[in-house]
Structure 1
């Protein structure tokens, strides 16, 4: 790859309802559009043998579109649910038929009911019989396939199970999809007949026959998915040609809660594992018990931290200061990893969004730029798009501190020295 800078053609990264490949596959609220990825790819003019990484892969918009363009892709996400969803998008018609055959073989009446423990996460929303049947299906599939994210067939079945469970517990999901409530009373819990669950699974999977992406593509690059943290990428030094990604924003959104129905399906018989995962995700609302030092996060991040520390609102100098500091440290560590794995003259493209703490402005684009440049990533281009909707602004109490309720989504492009 030549040592040159580009002036990329960039479309608004905002997802458009029903116009995104992923929407018809699995409607995940976070992420960017297919058209954004395709346009960036054209601008980068990468060689066909290039490997493209998304270290915060989510539901896999980057990995899917880059693979369909013929590139080899690597998707990394600490949340195993997201890796399964991203992998499922690589199934073809034969995989759909194989998945249907497996689901048809599921028992409806004589299945092992002792698989459900009273602490099972699914019991937050479902009555015992419904939760027991869903747990039976999950354990049956995981026994057949030890690593679901390595199999398009089993990923597709889990995608169906994720989708149905999210649909069944819809009354517990608030207007903000990152807020998932739990039932307070036993009679609030959802009850679904076993035959209906199995029938719904078959209908969902059968419906994918007409919307598989792989069958329509001329060439498809190889795909690899890792369940790992962006702060410790399981990749060789200088092995990646380009990175296209969007990290969790600095908005104190709990992505573990956001996918709690899906995590309940996958790991609900180990509630401790779900809690541990929540406490590792970037942008989490929980605070690490270990002491941490704020070093090399850049002048803008340091200034924001000082303002939060001195703010007179409740818990600003304790919880909120630590929460923001924790986030900035993990972004710094992640950008150090990105610099380590990207090739000389490789490109790093990311979408970030600004936010506020009370009236304190968090210019995340500038923070990313300062940390990236400190790691020898050369700033090439910045483009801002106004977003009328921000998860952080759903809380009406925010209006007490400021009038502006819109946000800026910013596309940043860097090149490695």
Structure 2
């Protein structure tokens, strides 16, 4: 049933991230081309519903929207909820972005107000710089975030308007430029300055110029999309929901989804919140959690869980053997810290797959992009583990396509200590539910 699927490389290519896609350069996930080819060739009926439980920057929901399918995108990181909602902004809304941005900048210059001494932007920015950035954010919030988002029972980022989300993304881009000195070669890591380092100090004029330039660029990209739509492709033809949710506990309607397209978090101890620390700082007035608390909830958390987790047979034979080899490995902390973080990963992933499987209709399909890795010299064959785990939750593997690529772990100095292959395999796993 998967023979007709058109599967191209799921590896993101920065050279292809141009136009509207270029404003959402967040780590992990797959490119628009991959999502488009999969969904167009899947033989889905009109009205089909697509689910991406780890939606990230919204590639799946955006591609589904352009192709006329309803979709649901979930993500635990509030930054990604904002980004994915911005990505869905209709091209017809392009005309009012620049006037709105000009008004917001004018208001920010006129009344910056005082800066909370605990403002999280101060982790990287000098006080005057942080004060003006916060003034811009505050005016976006005052002008465009209303009672539907800020309701009496808390903040609902899933209700924020596409326009507000887009201006937040423009602000995110400007802040990422400000904190560039604190980014490492690892694209998932933004560090805080050391005590002896000076924090970033930039003039109001430069900040305003960078923010305005981002808005102009987004406007041009949306206009280009509108021209594409005028050529025969339409937008927002179906219902798309972007929700902040934890896949281990989310309540999804049983047998409500026709197709799943997603890339689960890799088992490489990546702190996905670290890549969005400055964005989380920008959003702090709208959030009830901080980066540390959020990171603890993430699949693949680098923070050791405080509760005891037992190995489950539902995780599969390969996973069990890997965990036993990891626990008995001679290297420091293998039987303690690293063993517990891996237990946390597989426990959360199994819970998530169970919920995704229950949401999938009988006869529905799920396509997962999964990458293998190494712990020291131990092969963490996540594609095989994921296939076994999925089988224990009612999903049958029908096709697997592998793509070899370079891995960030190859540049780690400790890699030379162990004899293991270079690079990693990114596997596209195609499952069906019977």
TM range (shorter): over 0.9
Please state if 1:78 is matched with 2:76. yes
Query: Does structure 2 retain, via aligned residues, the 8 Å contact 1:74–1:223?
Result: yes
Aligned to 1:163: 173
Query: Does structure 2 retain, via aligned residues, the 8 Å contact 1:18–1:24?
Result: no
> Which SS does the other structure have where 2:259 is aligned?
strand
CA displacement 1:55-83 (0-9 Å, x = unmatched): 10111111111211111111110001111
Structure 1: runs of 5+ lacking an equivalent: none
Aligned to 1:133: 132
C-alpha deviation, 1:23, in angstroms = 4.3
C-alpha deviation, 1:29, in angstroms = 2.8
Aligned to 1:142: 141
Select the residue among 98, 102, 106 that pairs with 2:96.
Answer: 98
2:12 and 2:80 mapped to 1: Cα distance? 18
Which stretch shifts more, 161-170 or 194-203?
194-203
Query: How does 1:227-246 map onto structure 2 within 5 Å?
Result: 227-246=244-263
C-alpha deviation, 1:311, in angstroms = 0.8
2:119 and 2:286 mapped to 1: Cα distance? 5
1:396 and 1:244 mapped to 2: Cα distance? 35
Aligned to 2:351: 333
Please state if 1:365 is matched with 2:383. yes
Aligned to 2:153: none
Pick closer, same or farther for the CA change 1:412–1:240 going to 2, 3 Å. Answer: same
Query: How does 1:279-298 map onto structure 2 within 5 Å?
Result: 279-295=296-312, 296-298=314-316
Aligned to 1:111: 111
2:411 and 2:266 mapped to 1: Cα distance? 15
Query: How does 1:347-362 map onto structure 2 within 5 Å?
Result: 347-362=365-380
> Which SS does the other structure have where 2:430 is aligned?
strand
Pick closer, same or farther for the CA change 1:415–1:284 going to 2, 3 Å. Answer: same
Pick closer, same or farther for the CA change 1:395–1:23 going to 2, 3 Å. Answer: farther
C-alpha deviation, 1:347, in angstroms = 0.7
Structure 2: runs of 5+ lacking an equivalent: 150-155
> Which SS does the other structure have where 1:381 is aligned?
strand
Please state if 1:309 is matched with 2:327. yes
Select the residue among 14, 19, 37 that pairs with 2:16.
Answer: 19
Aligned to 1:64: 62
Query: Does structure 1 retain, via aligned residues, the 8 Å contact 2:35–2:63?
Result: yes
Aligned to 1:8: 5
Residue-pair matches, total: 412
> Which SS does the other structure have where 1:113 is aligned?
coil
C-alpha deviation, 1:352, in angstroms = 0.5
Runs of 4+ in 1 over 6 A off after TM superposition: 268-271
Query: Does structure 2 retain, via aligned residues, the 8 Å contact 1:120–1:271?
Result: no
2:16 and 2:98 mapped to 1: Cα distance? 27
Query: Does structure 1 retain, via aligned residues, the 8 Å contact 2:108–2:139?
Result: no
2:91 and 2:212 mapped to 1: Cα distance? 14
CA displacement 1:161-184 (0-9 Å, x = unmatched): 000100111111011111212112
CA RMSD of aligned residues (A): 2.0
2:95 and 2:212 mapped to 1: Cα distance? 10
C-alpha deviation, 1:247, in angstroms = 0.8
CA displacement 1:195-227 (0-9 Å, x = unmatched): 332232222112122212752332333321000
> Which SS does the other structure have where 1:14 is aligned?
coil
Pick closer, same or farther for the CA change 1:131–1:269 going to 2, 3 Å. Answer: farther
> Which SS does the other structure have where 2:290 is aligned?
helix
Please state if 1:205 is matched with 2:215. yes
Select the residue among 180, 184, 189 that pairs with 2:190.
Answer: 180
Which stretch shifts more, 283-292 or 154-163?
283-292
1:136 and 1:290 mapped to 2: Cα distance? 41
Given the two structures, how large is their TM-score scaled by the length of structure 1? 0.93
CA displacement 1:361-414 (0-9 Å, x = unmatched): 0000000000111111111101111012x2333322122112422100000000
> Which SS does the other structure have where 1:301 is aligned?
helix
Pick closer, same or farther for the CA change 1:345–1:93 going to 2, 3 Å. Answer: closer
Select the residue among 384, 387, 398 that pairs with 2:402.
Answer: 384
> Which SS does the other structure have where 2:320 is aligned?
helix
Which stretch shifts more, 181-190 or 292-301?
181-190
> Which SS does the other structure have where 1:385 is aligned?
strand
